[in-house]
Amino acid sequence: MEPGEVQRGPEGEERAGLDERVDPATGEFRVIAPGQSFRSVTEKITRIVLTTTTPLGWLAFFGVGGALATMLLVAVTWLFLKGTGIWGITQPVAWGFAIINFVWWIGIGHAGTLISAILLLFKQGWRNSINRFAEAMTIFAVACAGMFPLIHMGRPWLAYWVFPLPLTMNVWPQFRSPLVWDVFAVSTYATISVVFWYIGMVPDFGTLRDRAKSKFAQHFYGLCSLGWRGSVRHWSRYETASLLLAGLATPLVLSVHTVISFDFAVSVLPGWHTTIFPPYFVAGAIYSGFAMVLTLAIPLRKFYHLEGLITERHIDNMGKVLLATGFIVAYGYAMEVFMSWYSASHWEAFMMWNRAFGPMGWSYWVLITCNLAIPLTTLWSRRLRTSMPFMFCLSIVVNAGMWFERFVIIVTSLYRDFLPSAWGTYRATKWDYMTYVGTLGLFMALFLLFVRFLPMIPISEIRTMLPGAKVKVPAAADTATEAGD
Amino acid sequence: MSEEMKKGTKNATGEWDGEASGPGSSSVSDPLSDPVSRRGFMKLMGASMALAGLAGCTKQPDESIYPYVKPPEDLVLGKPMYFATAHPFITGAVPLLVKSDEFRPIKIDGNPEHPYNLGASDPFTQAALLDFYDPDRSQHVTYRGENREWAEFEQALRQKMAESRDGSGIYILSATITSPTLARQWRAVQAAWPKLKLVQYDPAIAGTAAAGGLNLQYDLAEADVIVSLDADFLSGAAFPGFHQLVRAYAGRRKEPEKGMNRLYAVESTPTTTGLKADHRLGLRASEIPAFAGELARAVGVEGVAPPAWPWTAAQKRFLAAAARDLRAHAGRSAVVAGLYQDGSVTALALAINQALGNLGRTVFLAPEPVNPLPSDQIADLQALVADLNAGKVDWLMILNANPIYSAPANLNFAAAFDKANLVAHLGSHLDETGQVSHWHIPAAHFLESWSDARALDGRVSIVQPMIDPLYGGKTAHHVLQALLDEPGLSPYEAVRATWRPVIEKGLKKPEGGGQLEGGGKAEKGGKTEGGGPPEDADFEAGWREALHRGWIEGTAFEMNSPSGGNAASRADAAFHGKISAPSPKNSLEIIFRPDPNIYDGRWSNVGWLQELPKPVTNLSWDNAAILSGAALTRLGLEEDDIVELTVGAGRVTAPVVVAPGHPDNSVTVHLGYGRQFAGRVGAGAGFNAFLIRNTWAPFYAKGSIRKLDGKWGVAITKSHYQDQRPKAFGGQGQGGNSLEADEAITERGIVRYATLEEFKANPGFANESESYNRGETHSSTDRSNTLFPNWPYKDNKWGMSIDMASCVGCNACIVGCYAENNIAVVGKQQVRIGRILQWLRIDTYFEGDLAAPRAHFQPMTCQQCENAPCEQVCPVGATVHTPEGLNMMVYNRCVGTRYCSNNCPYKVRRFNFLLYSDYETESLKLMRNSDVTVRSRGVMEKCTYCVQRISAARIEADKENRPIRDGEIQTACQQACPAAAISFGNLNDKQSRVAKLQAGERSYQVLADQNTRPRTTYVAAVLNPNPELEDEPVEHAPAKAGPGEGLRGSKR
């Protein structure tokens, strides 16, 4: 692509600097825009946190998120008072929005871990700008996801029975059930993610502590920084811990959604009972996760003027990841159709037919449109991949599509299975919607709190990528060994 | 019923000592009058200790537990007792054996020793339990809305009678009198007050030959060919002799090798009888008399001149084939006349039976009706209204009837009603009539009162109370005794007086009132307070034996008496060759039928029956304008649309529901809905079809239909035909697709059947046909291969076999399951969204042309899989395999993830999405089976094979150190089933009935290819179509090559 091609958009005043953003050597966008120094990076990131004036936009969004989270509280309170019957679940569709949302949120979380762990191991330097908030996204997504298996239970106050607790009651989990596997997968995942996230922030907490003006902030960040002094020994241990945690987290990226796919694959239900589910779920999770990172990154860089740190290069790269995982997902869909024919199983054939052309066939076509038709045709174009409005809209489309994927898998497999006499239908109630939208609000509120009070971009890691850090190859900076203050 | 149970039962069977003192009422001693008991001492000591140590703790509410100081005789806590009684019903009493737990009746079943029903029951009988515990029953005697005492009413009545010279101006409007004792009392009243008038009115049978006293009976076990002329004898207790008829019909379908019967059904509204028939012909109700006339002529009845009618070729073929078959089986056939048909149909059926020589062989006329005072109920009611309007009625006493609600619309009964000076109403509820009556007296239920009733075979059962009246209810006996100025004589003594001569004379049976009155007088002399000591030991022994046995020996009808012929000529005289002409083809007919669930509205407030999906339509909680798919298209309607039905001046609005096989230009409406004052359950459900029912046309009338705006919101539990129908037929619009159309049962192999010829050619059709095994990817798979090791079974290995040939879809099993397993009623809205809680459902599959379908009824409940998919996925081990092979739910352990339900291929698990069980209502607490947990919200539940019954039997067997005998355990559904379609037992015992059935050639597993290895298997049905009608199938085969073809086992 010619560098001149990107000279478009309404921001006329930025045109002068456009060429600067492209690395002439590769013709790619730079990972960090030129003109950044250690000081400017530190200033830029810490100012967001340490400022005493909260932006009005932040307050407005937080208000919306908080209101929706309150709605979630109302919905869950009513749920606990009345029972899961306030939702649309029924016989035969005994799992509905709760499990759809669970799988969706868990899937979203995957991108964060992938970015922070796998890309770290693969030394993808560009990840540094986005890994912190992607990790935060993971944690909040897992929090939202983790709530659903608990509240969807008929008797949520007994949820602790799924843990192997040595109680006098002798209640012990039934380990053949994939739901028990889920418990371990999700709780491990949540733990590792939180630890990884926190360890990553320790040097930045030190920076914040040192720069904080108010007593409270000094104490707060001081506590969080665990006595970080930036000594070489500290850095050495920090790097080792990061690598170890990355090594631990990497298999989790693959295993968590694999285990969750077992919830379906282990059952006997046509449409669920499929060996392709583990890879197909993981790909889908990364697909939706990157979409969510985009959904968050594009407004963030705009509102906090972080274009210099989160550049078109990041957006472009994520677009490529979307394209790749989108094709894996497409392969999964194709295999489902193929196997329903090739298996010669009557049930499979009917399931596929019913999924696409039955009374709820519309949901399948929404899924195909959102997940395949739109992204896989447009993402080939770098022009579109670097267009912020387009990528933002596309990320929303993919998120919706992935939500519908779970809807299709769960609802259209269940509502018409073996005995036609037991067929039914599914219609979500307002409580379903309130709970779902409420978790979006909760996620939003948590994420905004994170943005306001924690460094959303890793200061230390960005600084290692600056030319001043003597990084030889800016596009693939070695974050581990050459860091310094 | 096992020997042990019987023994226990019979030892325990006794009687209450008069009605004043109920069981247990005298036996709970006052613990406070004991000076210092050991328990009291311990209590004080314990309290002191607790107070000393835990003075600061919150005090728990006081709950006293008192022991039985003098326990009632025979009571062993936790061991139920069984008492014989009977359910009085208009078309013949159902003899019962009621299970009583600590003197609370908790389960009603047929009396297994009674020759009439041999233990079978029906939905009405099963649901009578909830009717008894209905919290909305009226509880006070009221006068103009104020609470009064019964004595005050008695006083008022006696005063009135004292003023009256001959009873003129005093009228009794009663439900059909079923009790011989009540009839005797009525005769005494009539003798004392000659001008006092009795009118009987029961909307469901008023105007039928049965109400008029014709007692036709059939022995279908001896019939090779059966023709039903709009007789719905397989559907439910509404048809006289239902239990006997189903048993006999099913008995000839179970073993095709031993000769099957063949059923031709000519019917108007589609019923399970027609859908089970080998050949069904749907005709409009008004065409059936003419068709019966043609049939009579074809079999050679002389002097029949049916009106000319353009029969179609198919109808003629059907007629010819049926007539030929009947003639070929003269003396071994039966023509069954519909209860709700024109009198001429009954007469023609009798004539045909006579001509074929069936009378006295398969068809009988009992010498007497079961209801002792037969009358022309409609004419009597009309006369009453005339008298009311003429101001002749001073006092009107209404006994167990609800005429304000159910009287024919054209009588304008409510207006006439106001003209009576005073109305007294005896009723179980403060219903529509009770609301506007001056006096209201709560009626006692048959489970809490003394009376008697007659089964269809004539045997008289004594109705004995199981418990003291819950709300101090009175019976019609009390009212008549008050009229006779015999208030001291309790119904108990009255019933004893009636049967004293019969019991004393052993075999002599009562013949009319004169003799019975003599008996009454004899009893009067020896009247003592509260049923004193027997004055006559012989009688007392006989009485006790009759109570114990459940019927009075020597009261059965003599079926072969020559009076049968007389009755035939009586019936003949009534019709005298007149056969009403069918109404013009283009005119709309409205068929009125009592509701299959709530009958004439009397069971409106019984949640079990309201929620029960009606046979054929699977509609629950409503009645509907039921019509054919073609009519729906023609009228531009969709299912659930609201229409207005007009007959004469009356009009009602109703939702539209399609029934496959419904004749065109004809709409069926069920009576009994649209109750205003039914109670918390029944009020507001459905629409009141009585508003368009008139005296001149009680069972079908000309009317019109008009579409209104809006949707009704009917609750239909899913059945397959809905989805199969194309949009044009009111379906959901997917039926037009070929994949789905023959998708159904053909390829899924859920329902398997063959014709008799195919069966003979290939007895193993149910398992060998490839068309049934298409779901099977690898047919050579060894099904013993599983991931988990196979379960060992040392002693028992329970299994069930359900005979698809026998099941007639009557729903008795479902209601029995409700009662046995404390299943909650969820309400219409919950049913609408698919949350019905019934553990057992009857899947109805239609196939072929929906204008003339064939249906299959498949009871579907937990299959107790050997390789249960539900067990593996439960995270907390709440559903587990027992050492006897049951797949058990541990309710306490369930956290409600519902994964098990998702993974159940049969979708037979039920979830308490909300708190469905009623923990509050006091009366319902008494009703519950104490052996079964009442499930709370958030818990999965499902069929357990009635594990509590298995445990009870195991305890008995262990005590006697022997294995459980085959047949010792009956599941609730099995016990209720009149067709004996369900068998249950130990599969390890190769001699057990169920093991033999499962080893049979026709036995198959549903969804065997899923390798769930279900414990419940089905016996494939064999049909017996007439080859003459089969070559070019008229009734069953669709125009296009449809599912019907693929289904035949041997055709492959």
DSSP B200-223: E--TTTTTSTTTTT--EEE-GGG-
**Burial class, B7, CB count within 10 angstroms (exposed 0-12 / middle 13-18 / buried 19+):** exposed
- Mean pLDDT calculated for residue range A387-403: 93
pLDDT tens profile B696-713? 888 888 899 999 998 888
Provide the edge-to-edge strand list for the sheet that holds B279-282. B279-282, B262-267, B225-229, B333-337
Tell me: pLDDT of B772 over 50. yes
pLDDT given for residue B24 in this prediction? 35
Q: CA of A425 to nearest chain B CA: how many angstroms apart?
A: 8
pLDDT given for residue A479 in this prediction? 46
H/E segment holding residue B266: strand B262-267
User: What six digits make up the tokens of A53?
Assistant: 């004036």
Nearest to A83 among B718, B894, B913 (CB): B913
Whole-Å CA distances, B309 to A443, B281, B315, B910: 76, 16, 11, 52
CA atoms within 13 A on the CB side of A117: 27
Does B896 contact A173 at a Cβ distance shorter than 8 Å? no
Enumerate residues 6+ apart whose C-beta is below 8 A from A430.
none
Whole-Å CA distances, A306 to A47, A298, A302, B698: 12, 10, 7, 84
Interface of B with A in 480-539 (CB under 8 A): none
- Mean pLDDT calculated for residue range B266-294: 90
pLDDT tens profile B863-894? 999 889 999 999 998 999 999 989 999 999 99
Residue type at B778 in one-letter notation: H
- Mean pLDDT calculated for residue range B959-982: 92
Residue whose token pair is 């009588």: B411
- Mean pLDDT calculated for residue range B803-818: 92
pLDDT tens profile A309-326? 888 888 888 899 899 999
B-chain CB neighbours of A156 within 8 Å are 895, 938
Other Cβ atoms less than 10 A from the Cβ of A165: the count is 11
Q: CA of A173 to nearest chain B CA: how many angstroms apart?
A: 5
Tell me: pLDDT of B334 over 50. yes
Query: What ipTM did this prediction achieve?
Result: 0.89
- Mean pLDDT calculated for residue range B625-643: 86
In this structure, are residues B669 and B424 in contact, taking their beta carbons and an 8 Å threshold?
no
Tell me: pLDDT of B29 over 80. no
Whole-Å CA distances, B338 to B189, B265, B267, B802, B1035: 35, 11, 9, 29, 21
pLDDT given for residue B35 in this prediction? 54
Which of the two residues, B608 and B537, has the higher pLDDT score?
B608
Name the residue of chain B whose CA is nearest to A79's CA: B914
Distance CA A193, CA B806 (A): 62
Tell me: pLDDT of A330 over 90. yes
Please state which of the ranges A142-146, B34-38, B196-200, B898-902 shows the lowest mean pLDDT. B34-38
**Burial class, B770, CB count within 10 angstroms (exposed 0-12 / middle 13-18 / buried 19+):** exposed
Q: Pseudo-torsion of CA B308, B309, B313, B317, nearest 10°?
A: -60
B-chain CB neighbours of A90 within 8 Å are 833-835, 913
Which of the two residues, B516 and B221, has the higher pLDDT score?
B221
Which of the two residues, B1052 and B711, has the higher pLDDT score?
B711
Does A158 contact B895 at a Cβ distance shorter than 8 Å? yes
Tell me: pLDDT of A22 over 80. no
Tell me: pLDDT of B523 over 60. no
Which of the two residues, B14 and B477, has the higher pLDDT score?
B477
Q: Does B772 touch chain A (CB under 8 A)?
A: no
CA atoms within 13 A on the CB side of B95: 29
- Mean pLDDT calculated for residue range B973-984: 92
User: What six digits make up the tokens of B63?
Assistant: 């709950």
Which residues partner with B721 through β-bridges? none
Closest Cα partner for B180 from B374, B373, B18? B373
Name the residue of chain B whose CA is nearest to A93's CA: B902
Name the residue of chain B whose CA is nearest to A78's CA: B914
What percent of chain A has pLDDT above 90?
44
Cα A475 to chain centroid, rounded? 24
A-chain CB neighbours of B894 within 8 Å are 154-155
- Mean pLDDT calculated for residue range B420-443: 91
pLDDT given for residue B91 in this prediction? 87
Distance CA A182, CA A260 (A): 6
Tell me: pLDDT of A72 over 90. yes
Nearest to B907 among A86, A92, A173 (CB): A92
Enumerate helices (H) and strands (E) in chain B, giving the number of each. 36, 38
pLDDT given for residue B349 in this prediction? 87
Distance CA B575, CA B570 (A): 9
Residue type at B535 in one-letter notation: E
pLDDT given for residue A31 in this prediction? 73
pLDDT given for residue A37 in this prediction? 78
Does A161 contact B893 at a Cβ distance shorter than 8 Å? yes
Distance CA B25, CA A330 (A): 76
pLDDT given for residue B49 in this prediction? 59
- Mean pLDDT calculated for residue range B486-506: 82
A-chain CB neighbours of B830 within 8 Å are 85
What percent of chain B has pLDDT above 90?
33
Task: Name the DSSP class of A266.
Answer: T
Distance CA A207, CA B254 (A): 87
- Mean pLDDT calculated for residue range B315-334: 90
Strand pairing of B363-365 and B146-148?
Answer: unpaired
Task: Name the DSSP class of B302.
Answer: T
Q: CA of A329 to nearest chain B CA: how many angstroms apart?
A: 25
Nearest to A177 among B875, B898, B938 (CB): B875
In this structure, are residues B108 and B905 in contact, taking their beta carbons and an 8 Å threshold?
no
What percent of chain A has pLDDT above 70?
91
B-chain CB neighbours of A149 within 8 Å are 897
- B357 sits in the region (left: phi over 0; alpha: psi -120 to 50; else beta) called left
pLDDT given for residue B713 in this prediction? 87
User: What six digits make up the tokens of A271?
Assistant: 């449409």
Confidence of residue B844 (pLDDT cuts 50, 70, 90): confident
Which span out of A40-44, A304-308, B242-246 was modeled with the highest average pLDDT?
A: B242-246
Distance CA A464, CA A449 (A): 26
Interface of B with A in 857-886 (CB under 8 A): 858, 860, 869, 872-877
Name the residue of chain B whose CA is nearest to A269's CA: B903
CA angle B648, B652, B654 (to 5 degrees): 135
Distance CA B184, CA B518 (A): 10
Q: CA of A398 to nearest chain B CA: how many angstroms apart?
A: 28
Nearest to B739 among A179, A347, A353 (CB): A353
Q: CA of A368 to nearest chain B CA: how many angstroms apart?
A: 22
In this structure, are residues A113 and A193 in contact, taking their beta carbons and an 8 Å threshold?
yes
In this structure, are residues B366 and B568 in contact, taking their beta carbons and an 8 Å threshold?
no
Nearest to B872 among A155, A177, A422 (CB): A177
Name the residue of chain B whose CA is nearest to A154's CA: B938
Confidence of residue B618 (pLDDT cuts 50, 70, 90): confident
The count of CB pairs under 8 A between chains A and B is 188
Whole-Å CA distances, B983 to A287, B27, B196, B811, B816: 55, 41, 54, 16, 15
Residue whose token pair is 């008289």: B460
Distance CA A149, CA B88 (A): 53
Tell me: pLDDT of B267 over 50. yes
Q: Pseudo-torsion of CA B608, B610, B611, B614, nearest 10°?
A: 110
Q: Does B734 touch chain A (CB under 8 A)?
A: yes
Tell me: pLDDT of B599 over 50. yes
pLDDT tens profile A332-391? 999 999 998 888 787 888 888 888 888 888 999 999 999 999 999 999 988 898 889 999
A-chain CB neighbours of B1006 within 8 Å are 419
pLDDT given for residue B445 in this prediction? 92
Distance CA B77, CA A355 (A): 56
- Mean pLDDT calculated for residue range B828-833: 90
> How large is the greatest C-alpha to C-alpha distance in chain B, in angstroms?
99
Q: CA of A81 to nearest chain B CA: how many angstroms apart?
A: 10
Q: Best mutation site among B897, B1010, B1047 for testing chain A: the one with the most A CBs within 10 Å?
A: B897
Whole-Å CA distances, A312 to A113, A130, A473, B64, B341: 21, 12, 18, 78, 84
Which residues partner with A223 through β-bridges? none
Which of the two residues, B925 and B1034, has the higher pLDDT score?
B925
Does A85 contact B913 at a Cβ distance shorter than 8 Å? yes
Q: Does B841 touch chain A (CB under 8 A)?
A: yes
Enumerate residues 6+ apart whose C-beta is below 8 A from B997.
B801, B803, B983, B1003, B1017, B1019
User: What six digits make up the tokens of B640?
Assistant: 């659930």
pLDDT given for residue B633 in this prediction? 82
Strand pairing of B700-711 and B641-647?
Answer: antiparallel
Buried-exposed string A294-308: b where 16+ CB fall within 10 A, e elsewhere: bbbbbebbeebebbb
Whole-Å CA distances, B951 to B796, B944, B948, B954: 12, 12, 5, 5
Phi, psi of B463 (to 5 degrees): -85, 110
Does B938 contact A95 at a Cβ distance shorter than 8 Å? no
Q: Please tell me whether residue B703 adopts helix, strand or coil conformation.
A: strand
Listed in order, strand segments (DSSP E) in B861-1002 are: 879-881, 887-889, 910-911, 940-941, 982-986
Confidence of residue B46 (pLDDT cuts 50, 70, 90): low
pLDDT given for residue B141 in this prediction? 92
Enumerate residues 6+ apart whose C-beta is below 8 A from B1032.
none
Which span out of A95-104, B189-198, B560-569 was modeled with the highest average pLDDT?
A: A95-104
In this structure, are residues B976 and B120 in contact, taking their beta carbons and an 8 Å threshold?
yes
**Burial class, B233, CB count within 10 angstroms (exposed 0-12 / middle 13-18 / buried 19+):** buried
Phi, psi of B741 (to 5 degrees): -65, -50
Tell me: pLDDT of B156 over 50. yes
Q: Best mutation site among B870, B873, B874 for testing chain A: the one with the most A CBs within 10 Å?
A: B873
Is the pTM higher than 0.80? yes
Q: Does B727 touch chain A (CB under 8 A)?
A: no
Q: How much of chain B is helix, strand and coil, in % rounded to 5?
A: 35, 20, 50
Q: Pseudo-torsion of CA A243, A245, A251, A254, nearest 10°?
A: -110
Name the residue of chain A whose CA is nearest to B897's CA: A153
Task: Name the DSSP class of B48.
Answer: H
Confidence of residue A101 (pLDDT cuts 50, 70, 90): very high
In this structure, are residues B170 and B164 in contact, taking their beta carbons and an 8 Å threshold?
yes
In this structure, are residues A62 and A431 in contact, taking their beta carbons and an 8 Å threshold?
no
Per-chain mean pLDDT for chain A: 85
H/E segment holding residue A76: helix A56-82
A-chain CB neighbours of B860 within 8 Å are 419, 421-422
